[in-house]
Structure 1
Amino acid sequence: MKTALIAVCAATLLLLSACNTVKGMGQDLQKAGEKIEGAAKK
Structure 2
Amino acid sequence: MAKIVWVLTLGMLTAGCNTVEGFGKDVNTLGSKIEKTAKDVKK
For the criterion TM > 0.5, the same-fold answer is: yes
Quick one: higher RCO (CA 8 Å, sep 6+), 1 or 2?
A: 1
Identical residues among aligned pairs (%): 45
List structure 1 runs of 4+ shifted beyond 3 angstroms. Answer: none
Partner residue in 1 for 2:31: 33
Matches of 1:26 and 1:38, distance apart in 2: 18
- Larger Rg computed on CA atoms: 2
Task: Give the paired residue count.
Answer: 32
Q: TM-score, normalised by structure 1?
A: 0.64
Query: Which residue identity is paired with 2:29?
Result: K
Matches of 2:18 and 2:24, distance apart in 1: 11
Following superposition, the deviation at residue 39 of structure 1 comes to 0.5
Q: TM-score, normalised by structure 2?
A: 0.62
In structure 2, the gaps of 5 or more residues are: 1-6
